[in-house]
Amino acid sequence: MNNKGNSRKRPQPPLPPPQQPQQKHHSSMEDEDVDEDVFLEETLLLQHEEDTQAFRDAEERQAPRLQKWKRPPLCQHYLSQSQSIIFQQLDIDYVIGDGHKDLLPNSSGPAAILRIFGVTKEGHSVCCHVHGFEPYFYISCPPGMGPDDISHFHQILEGRMREVNRSSKVPKFVRRIELVQRRSIMYYQQQKDQPFLKIVVALPTMITSCRGILDRGIHIDGLGMKSFMTYESNVLFALRFMIDCDIVGGNWIEVPVGKYKKTAKNLSYCQLEFECLYTDMISHVPEGEFSKMAPFRILSFDIECSGRKGLFPEPTHDPVIQVANLVTLQGEDHPFVRNVMTLKSCSPIVGVDVMPFDTEKDVLLAWRDFIHEADPDIIIGYNICKFDLPYLIQRAEVLGIAEFSILGRIRNSRVRVKDTTFSSRQYGTRESKEVTVEGRVQFDLLQVMQRDYKLSSYSLNSVSAHFLNEQKEDVHHSIISDLQNGNSETRRRLAVYCLKDAYLPQRLLDKLMLIYNYVEMARVTGVPISFLLSRGQSIKVLSQLLRKAKQKNLVIPNVKQAGSEQGTYEGATVLEASAGFFEKPIATLDFASLYPSIMMAYNLCYCTLVTPEDMHRLNLPPEWVNKTPSGETFVKSNLQKGILPEILEELLAARKRAKADLKEAKDPLVKAVLDGRQLALKISANSVYGFTGATVGQLPCLEISSSVTSYGRQMIEHTKKLVEDKFTVLAGYEHNAEVIYGDTDSVMVQFGVPTVDEAMNLGREAADYISGTFIKPIKLEFEKVYYPYLLISKKRYAGLLWTNPNKFDKMDAKGIETVRRDNCLLVKNLVTECLHKILIDRDVPGAVQYVKNTIADLLMNRVDLSLLVITKGLTKTGDDYEVKAAHVELAERMRKRDAATAPNVGDRVPYVIVKAAKGAKAYERSEDPIYVLDNNIPIDPHYYLENQISKPLLRIFEPILKNASKELLQGSHTRSISISTPSNSGIMKFAKKQPTCIGCKALISNSEYTLCSHCKGREAELYCKSVANVSELEKLFGRLWTQCQECQGSLHQDVLCTSRDCPIFYRRKKAQKDMVEAKLQLDRWNL
């Protein structure tokens, strides 16, 4: 597919429900995770025969290839079951089936069976069915309830459950109710434990319905109508299992010899399939040998569809024409399988197995067969979750290939597709599709990019350019059909392109160490790997909280969704910025992990919070509590150690260890693991605070989060005061120190000394001195010096960063238009260059001159058009926008011109602002850059001057220059204006072209001459100018087009790429056009 991530991979409108079960699931909150029971249908088991039938032809079709695709064969020890099975688990889910008669003789009726999928270190695939683990939750036991009351309560609850779940054939809904001693995590309590009821139900989904009944209230004899607060009733079953068995995401699990039984009938395609009891499993802590990664198989794939002209491909109409696949073993550099399945013949590609098929059905089935044989553990790609996978499945439905969607590892089980909405404070709302492929983890690189990186564009092209320094050829979708309808050579071209799209995600995965980082994140936070991409931050903290709470015998209440009603609290403080250009070194004092440290230092936690009522009741002596600046009370750790501080301490200690190990480590793979771990630990530590403040989260506690920020503010103020009081001339220092700015966790100090070295010494002294006044582990660190430093306003500054006195490290700019995405490139270049001149070259006049030259170039129409292109994403059609927007209007106009190449919803629309009639609105003046080039349409330099470059420039220069606006934006350099003449306007049709003198533009009557009589004698000079112009163009032309050949990877074929994300796309087009004109100009000399 081309246009990865921008145009063509938007979610398809869901089809009318076909015969396949397609569940719709809309969860508006990220935390509303609900288990969904999947029943292991009897029919599936019976279909075994048919199943082999379906795959029989596969053996014939793919015979020579199977050898290469297959996993290594099992050795004798595994076959004879005389060896413990140790494997790295990657995915855990559960199904409802009958309990295992041998392992659980007492079981009756359907029960949840957990399935763990993983890989052994030899590379065998594993499916482990775990029996005996039951879903449960807690409620607090009403006072005075005895064993008899409990059994009575059990009966009532069972009755209510039966009413609610009439259709269910479960013999017993509430398996049992146990009286246990637990304590709620909320609020400081003096007594140790209280009675709780642990309610064990038959199936995981019943937790939700049971919770509903208890929430609403239940009539109990003697107590009347009573509703109950439930505890830990919102924990997904698989996560519950992992927590109770101490399994963390991606760790190694051992099932000892004799404790497992081979399944009677293989339900999955895994090599090792067996059953065991959950109590017999050994979960290994990811350390030493068990911190390694199994050689799991990673499939990277991409599909191409042939669209109709002007329309985005839809599975109802447009065939899948190619599927490219690469399979790589984790830890290896090169893929061991490279193939592409094509519709119709395709010329061979070196090193790639080209598999042409006559029908689309064969292509799809070949891919399914391939998935079975290659048996990937992880499926990656770019936008596969929203586009490729759903498209393939829907297309198979349209074609009526029922057997296609058996892609998972479970025999005869079809892939399930559902629409989900993912919404999170941090990531915003995103619609997506969830395709469940049992036993295979999906890892969509687009989702990773959107989550982890702020980029101006998320197309595969620009992401690869950013991280891999590699441009990819971008073929416009209108060409794809042409290539497909050509011959085997043109289809080969397409296949090469498709393969590249499959290869780039793998490269990104390797380059960014994503497997290591994500597996380590799963290990640190204890959630399955698949959760990391499909869910928000809070599940990770919740998982850690639940694990810790379990150790401490605490239970976590399922707090009702409070929504945003709880109100907000005051955020971090920002000290007033004294804007200006500082030419003396500015020392920066940073609080290291400020928020985690505050929580640790002041023992802030759910279980240390004292309510105002309790404050009176308990009558705690003031020296045993901390009163926070926001007015809350928390007990000190000698009375009750908080859980959150404990989690944080462990995380930070683990990070310290990981960093120390990282220094020692030699093996690059071990290093990758450790680096991923320390990063995961850091992120996790920082997300704990956010968890307490997430008002729509799992367990919001604004008392904690507002206390944290209030302490933070206090510390910043305190630091400012101490610095300014201590470092004074009166106290014997050379200068009075001045705090010029302070942000969330840092304070910028001007000590007044002239050298970086001195500033560093004073910075260190100040950090040590002030750290001493704080409670441990809060620590102020001195890290860097800015010199010089341009402070524009809050959160906007730039400076040269020094960490050693000899040489600066880099230029650091925050909140300045060097990175903003909605500006044209000219702004970015201009700002960067100016900062460079001001800060590094210390050449303010030079920067001013540079600005003037740029403005003059802009007005004289000498600026490269690609620098003026503004790009915005088209998210909906014109009618849906309330306000008219430039890019929407343009898309509309382009559709009228040519529907085939006009941008669609989901595309990014590049445009420039052109000159138009006076009073025309900006949105009417947007134009397609290609159209502008082709028709010589004049751009509107004043729009760019006023709306794009003036503000960012003034921001930079105002602290430096007096009358910056007058100096920069007015003056002689703005007087000369040149505007190109449009070739398409009405009036030009009547204009007659007359030759002009090349020297002075005077009309020449006789077209035989190049110069007018006045300019005769200046031939040499004027010729030099003409030819210099041609020479420049030729130079540029060569560099641009050979670069495109390079990206395309072929010398003998024309470049087809139309990637508008590519920075040289417009320049290349323009160079082509200019070449023609410059040559014509030069030819006039040969008259």
Partner 1 sequence: MEAMEVDSSSKNGGFLLQRKQSLYTSLDSCFEIKKEEMYRGQQFSQIYYARLYLMRTLLYSLVPNWKPLLPVCTVLGLEEGKECIIVGTLYKHMKLKPSILEEYSKERSAIPLVKPHNFIHPDDYLVLEDESGRVKLRGDVLLPSVYVTGIVVALLGKGSDAGYFWVEDILEAGLPHQVERPIESGEDKYVILVSGLGVGSSSSNPLQFQLLVDHITGHLGDAKEQSIAAKIVQVIIAGNSVEIPCGLLNGQNLSSKDQSRLSEPIKELDILLTQIAAGVPVDIMPGPNDPANFSLPQQPLHRCLFPGASAYNTFKSCHNPHSLKLDDVSLLGTSGQNVDDLEKYSDAKGKLDSMERTLRWRHLAPTAPNTLGCYPFTDRDPFFLESCPHVYFIGNQEKYDTRLIKGEEGQIVRLICIPRFSETGVAVVLNMRNLECHTLSFGTQFG
**Is position 1018 an interface residue for partner 1 (rule: CB under 8 A)?**
yes
| Minimum distance, C-beta of residue 500 to partner 1, in the bound complex (Å) | 12
- Tell me the three state secondary structure of residue 184: strand
**Is position 1060 an interface residue for partner 1 (rule: CB under 8 A)?**
no
Q: What burial letters (b/e) apply to 879-890, b meaning 16+ CB within 10 Å?
A: eeeeeebbbbbb
Distances 515 to 250, 293, 302, 460 between C-alpha atoms, Å: 11, 9, 19, 19
| Minimum distance, C-beta of residue 200 to partner 1, in the bound complex (Å) | 56
**Is position 961 an interface residue for partner 1 (rule: CB under 8 A)?**
no
How many other C-beta atoms lie within 10 A of the C-beta of residue 616?
A: 9
- Residue from 136, 312, 789, 808 touching partner 1 (CB under 8 A): that is 808
Using the minimum distance from each CB to partner 1, give the nearer residue, 354 or 780: 354
**Residue of 464, 538, 919, 889 whose CA lies nearest to 697:** 538
Using the minimum distance from each CB to partner 1, give the nearer residue, 95 or 1036: 1036
- Residue from 75, 164, 840, 1002 touching partner 1 (CB under 8 A): that is 840
* Rounded CA separation 213/207 (Å): 10
Residues 352-371 that bind partner 1 (CB under 8 A): 352
**Is position 832 an interface residue for partner 1 (rule: CB under 8 A)?**
yes
Using the minimum distance from each CB to partner 1, give the nearer residue, 209 or 1029: 1029
Burial bucket for residue 149 (CB in 10 Å: 0-12, 13-18, 19+): middle
| Minimum distance, C-beta of residue 933 to partner 1, in the bound complex (Å) | 12
The interface mask with partner 1, positions 409-448, x = CB under 8 A, is ----------------------------------------
Q: Which helix (H) or strand (E) is 960 found in, with range?
A: none
- Residue from 569, 850, 881, 1085 touching partner 1 (CB under 8 A): that is 1085
Task: Find out whether 382 and 302 touch, Cβ atoms under 8 Å.
Answer: yes
**Residue of 475, 476, 490, 478 whose CA lies nearest to 344:** 490
Interacting stretch for partner 1, rule CB under 8 A, among 98-106, 270-278, 902-910, 1015-1023?
A: 1015-1023
**Residue of 462, 327, 458 whose CA lies nearest to 386:** 458
Residue 201, CB half-sphere, CA atoms under 13 Å: how many? 21
Q: What burial letters (b/e) apply to 908-927, b meaning 16+ CB within 10 Å?
A: bbbbbbbbbeeeeeebbbbb
Q: Which two tokens stand for residue 165?
A: 């779940």
- Residue from 811, 885, 905, 961 touching partner 1 (CB under 8 A): that is 811
**Is position 1063 an interface residue for partner 1 (rule: CB under 8 A)?**
yes
- Tell me the three state secondary structure of residue 301: strand
* Rounded CA separation 953/947 (Å): 11
Cα torsion angle, 797, 803, 806, 807, sign: negative
Using the minimum distance from each CB to partner 1, give the nearer residue, 592 or 1030: 1030
- Residue from 208, 764, 1082, 1084 touching partner 1 (CB under 8 A): that is 1082
What is the DSSP code string of 116-149?
EEEEETT--EEEEEEE----EEEEEPPTT--HHH
Using the minimum distance from each CB to partner 1, give the nearer residue, 807 or 992: 807
Q: Which residues contact 462 (CB under 8 A, 6 or more apart)?
A: 455, 456, 1061
* Rounded CA separation 175/158 (Å): 9
Using the minimum distance from each CB to partner 1, give the nearer residue, 639 or 1055: 1055
Distances 6 to 300, 873, 903, 1051, 1059 between C-alpha atoms, Å: 19, 8, 10, 28, 11
Q: Which two tokens stand for residue 826?
A: 């000219």
* Rounded CA separation 462/2 (Å): 12
| Minimum distance, C-beta of residue 856 to partner 1, in the bound complex (Å) | 9
| Minimum distance, C-beta of residue 867 to partner 1, in the bound complex (Å) | 10
Interacting stretch for partner 1, rule CB under 8 A, among 256-264, 366-374, 758-766, 830-838?
A: 830-838
- Residue from 20, 189, 1072, 1081 touching partner 1 (CB under 8 A): that is 1072
* Rounded CA separation 969/94 (Å): 67
**Is position 1049 an interface residue for partner 1 (rule: CB under 8 A)?**
yes
Using the minimum distance from each CB to partner 1, give the nearer residue, 883 or 1020: 1020
Interacting stretch for partner 1, rule CB under 8 A, among 51-59, 181-189, 275-283, 1028-1036?
A: 1028-1036
Interacting stretch for partner 1, rule CB under 8 A, among 184-192, 553-561, 665-673, 1040-1048?
A: 1040-1048
* Rounded CA separation 740/692 (Å): 32
Interacting stretch for partner 1, rule CB under 8 A, among 125-133, 343-351, 676-684, 716-724?
A: 343-351
- Residue from 618, 938, 1030, 1084 touching partner 1 (CB under 8 A): that is 1030
**Is position 490 an interface residue for partner 1 (rule: CB under 8 A)?**
no
Using the minimum distance from each CB to partner 1, give the nearer residue, 333 or 623: 333
- Residue from 471, 484, 525, 626 touching partner 1 (CB under 8 A): that is 471
* Rounded CA separation 1065/866 (Å): 8
- Residue whose pair of structure tokens reads 């020579």 in the numeric block: 64
Using the minimum distance from each CB to partner 1, give the nearer residue, 66 or 229: 66
- Residue from 101, 810, 918, 962 touching partner 1 (CB under 8 A): that is 810
Report how far apart the first and last C-alpha atoms of the chain are (Å, whole number).
51
Interacting stretch for partner 1, rule CB under 8 A, among 345-353, 580-588, 683-691, 905-913?
A: 345-353
Size of the site for partner 1 (CB under 8 A): 62
- Residue from 349, 401, 468, 916 touching partner 1 (CB under 8 A): that is 349
**Is position 1034 an interface residue for partner 1 (rule: CB under 8 A)?**
yes
Burial bucket for residue 688 (CB in 10 Å: 0-12, 13-18, 19+): buried
- The runs of H, that is alpha helices, within 295-401 are 360-374, 389-399
* Rounded CA separation 281/276 (Å): 8
- Residue whose pair of structure tokens reads 């049971």 in the numeric block: 210
- Residue from 419, 614, 661, 1019 touching partner 1 (CB under 8 A): that is 1019
**Is position 784 an interface residue for partner 1 (rule: CB under 8 A)?**
no
* Rounded CA separation 679/654 (Å): 11
**Is position 826 an interface residue for partner 1 (rule: CB under 8 A)?**
no
Residues 854-873 that bind partner 1 (CB under 8 A): 862
| Minimum distance, C-beta of residue 1072 to partner 1, in the bound complex (Å) | 5
Task: Find out whether 194 and 138 touch, Cβ atoms under 8 Å.
Answer: no
- Residue from 146, 147, 351, 428 touching partner 1 (CB under 8 A): that is 351
**Is position 622 an interface residue for partner 1 (rule: CB under 8 A)?**
no
| Minimum distance, C-beta of residue 460 to partner 1, in the bound complex (Å) | 16
**Is position 849 an interface residue for partner 1 (rule: CB under 8 A)?**
no
| Minimum distance, C-beta of residue 16 to partner 1, in the bound complex (Å) | 44
**Is position 466 an interface residue for partner 1 (rule: CB under 8 A)?**
yes
Task: Find out whether 579 and 793 touch, Cβ atoms under 8 Å.
Answer: yes
Using the minimum distance from each CB to partner 1, give the nearer residue, 294 or 460: 460
Interacting stretch for partner 1, rule CB under 8 A, among 227-235, 726-734, 961-969, 1022-1030?
A: 1022-1030
Using the minimum distance from each CB to partner 1, give the nearer residue, 655 or 1068: 1068
| Minimum distance, C-beta of residue 324 to partner 1, in the bound complex (Å) | 14
Q: Which residues bind partner 1 (CB under 8 A)?
A: 334, 338, 347-352, 465-466, 469, 471, 489, 492, 808, 810-811, 825, 832-833, 836, 840, 862, 1018-1021, 1023-1025, 1027-1032, 1034-1035, 1037-1043, 1045-1046, 1049-1055, 1063-1064, 1072, 1075-1076, 1079, 1082, 1085
